[in-house]
Amino acid sequence: MAGATFMRFAARTVLSAPACKAVKIRGYHRQYLTTFRSNTSTINGGRTAFLLTLPVLSYLGVEAYRRVQSATVVHALEKAEEAVEQADYLYSCGETEKLYQLLLQYKDSDDAEFLWRLARASRDLSLLAHIAADEKKRLTFEAFEYAKKALEKNEACFAAHKGKIQQLTKCKWYAVCLSDIGDYEGVKVKIGNSYIIKEHLQRAIELNPKDATSIHILGYWCFAFAELAWYQRKVAAMIFASPPTATYEEALAFFLKAEEVDPNFYSKNLLMLGKSYMSLKDEGNAVLWLRKARDYPPHTEEDKEVHKEALDLLKKLSA
């Protein structure tokens, strides 16, 4: 816009200027034009001199436009970074609904940094106790679409490390959201998706072996297939040549690894450790971890649900 305005100004000046009057331009540009005009004043009443100066004016106009463009891009990047920082702050405070409303402004963005955060926020909102069943379903599928869109973005990053972390995050949340929609699409789809889910989780862990969340989710994947009902196993065997299988021992190993990487990082991991030990008939360790889950400070709705489930299981164990 600045360049176009400058060019309109230049055109008006050239076409309306008298033949023998100097153009009001500062510094060396003025000196250049005056010298040049004195040698050409007899050609077309001096107007040729003005017309020949258009390349100089064009250059100045383009440079002005480029500078405005550059400043606009920098401002946009700074604004985006501020929004990401604000989003991370709201997430750390457990402000799920405010976070969702903030990120919803960027739902049409092509920036994966916004998209995977919006997927996570949509999912977290769907898990709140007061969310109605229809709204929960809508948010679940919405979260998957954002996670899918984020995964499809392969934009270049300023540093290899940043690119690696971003890819890890996208793989992780795509796997989580894909698993969630399986609850609405039946056993066949859920089992079919499980191969993809496991692949993305393994990829996330490969990118960062210290990511406790991805390790926990893979443990949860194992636990879900370990406790698969017999009729679901039968359906899986009929549809798939080699249906996914897992054991409680495998699930336990992942939950323990997640806790080793980042102790006490997630109330649900403590709960799943207790449930895994219960499934393996190890009551002593089950009580140990269920008590830890019960005593975990509740910061989110999920923490409160974990607290309640841990209490119920401890009662069942008479502990």
| pLDDT, tens only, 241-293 | 777 889 999 999 999 999 999 999 999 999 999 999 999 999 999 999 999 99
Q: Is residue 126's pLDDT more than 80? A: yes
Q: For residue 22, is pLDDT > 80?
A: no
The pLDDT, as a whole number, for residue 198 is: 92
pLDDT of residue 266: 96
Per-residue pLDDT, 40 = 42
Distance, in Å, from the CA atom of 31 to the CA atom of 22, rounded to the nearest integer, reads 10
Give the confidence band of 314 by pLDDT, cuts at 50, 70, 90. Answer: very high
Comparing CA positions, the residue from 266, 268, 300 lying closest to residue 94 is: 300
**Six-digit token pair at 153?**
């973005």
Q: How many CB atoms sit inside 10 A of residue 241's CB?
A: 5
Distance CA(83)–CA(4), nearest Å, equals 32
- SS3 for 42? coil
Amino acid residing at 252:
L
Q: How confident is the model at residue 76 (pLDDT cuts 50, 70, 90)?
A: low
Separation CA 187–CA 89 (nearest Å): 38
The Cα–Cα gap between 270 and 165 comes to: 25
The whole-number pLDDT of residue 18 equals: 41
With H, G, I as helix, E, B as strand and everything else as coil, classify residue 156.
coil
- Domain parsing of the chain, residue ranges: 1-90, 93-184, 266-319
Provide the 10 A C-beta neighbour count for residue 87: 23
Most confident range (mean pLDDT) of 10-24, 262-276, 292-306 is: 262-276
Tokens of 80: 């985006």
| Unique residue bearing structure tokens 């984020």 | 150
